Amino acid sequence: MKKLIVVDNPRKIKLDVEGADIISAKNYLTTPDYARLTNVRVFNLCREYTYLSKGYYVSLLAEARKHKVIPNVKTLQDIKAPALVRVLSEDLDDLIQQSLHRIRSDEFQLSIYFGENVAKHYLKLSQALYRQFQAPLLRARFVFQKRWILQGVRAIGMSEIPEDHLSFLQAAAVRYFNKTRYDTARNNTSAYDLAILVNPEEPVPPSDKKALTRFAEAAQKEGFSVEFITRDDYPRVAEFDALFIRETTAVNHHTYRFARRAQSEGLAVIDDPDSILRCTNKVYLAELLQRAKLPTPKTVIVHADNRRQVLSQLGLPCVLKLPDGSSSRGVMKAETPEEFYHKIKEMLSASDLVIAQEYMPTDFDWRIGILNGQPLFACKYYMAKGHWQIYNWGARPADNTGAYDVLPVEDVPPAVIETALKAAHLIGNGLYGVDLKEVDGQVYLIEVNDNPSIESDVEDRVLGEELYTTIIRTLKQRLEKVRDIRHGA
pLDDT tens, residue by residue, 71-101: 888 888 888 887 778 777 777 889 999 999 9
Residues 167, 170, 176, 179: is their CA dihedral positive or negative? negative
Do 29 and 157 have their domain in common? yes
For residues 407 and 368, the answer to whether their CB atoms sit within 8 Å is no
Residue 187: which pLDDT band, with cuts at 50, 70 and 90?
very low
Q: The domain spanning residue 238 has which CATH number?
A: 3.40.50.20
What sections of 150-308 are H helices per DSSP? 166-177, 209-221, 254-264, 273-279, 282-291
Mean pLDDT of the chain: 90
Do 154 and 249 have their domain in common? no
Do 147 and 260 have their domain in common? no
pLDDT at res. 484 = 66
Residue 488 scores a pLDDT above 60? no
Do 37 and 144 have their domain in common? yes
Calpha distance 165→17 (Å, rounded): 17
Q: Which domain holds residue 310?
A: 298-358
Residue 185: which pLDDT band, with cuts at 50, 70 and 90?
very low
pLDDT at res. 191 = 41
Q: The domain spanning residue 403 has which CATH number?
A: 3.30.470.20
Q: 231 lies in a domain?
A: yes
Calpha distance 70→112 (Å, rounded): 14
pTM of the model: 0.77
Q: 282 lies in a domain?
A: no
For residues 161 and 169, the answer to whether their CB atoms sit within 8 Å is yes
Could you give the 3-state DSSP secondary structure of residue 50? coil
**CA angle (256 as vertex; 397, 132 as ends), nearest 5:** 175
Q: Give CA 212 to chain center in angstroms.
A: 25
Residue 15 scores a pLDDT above 90? no
Do 413 and 435 have their domain in common? yes
**CA angle (231 as vertex; 225, 232 as ends), nearest 5:** 90
Do 145 and 128 have their domain in common? yes
Do 36 and 77 have their domain in common? yes
Residue 105 scores a pLDDT above 50? yes
pLDDT digits (tens, 9 = 90+) for 132-158: 888 889 999 999 999 999 999 998 888
Do 197 and 72 have their domain in common? no
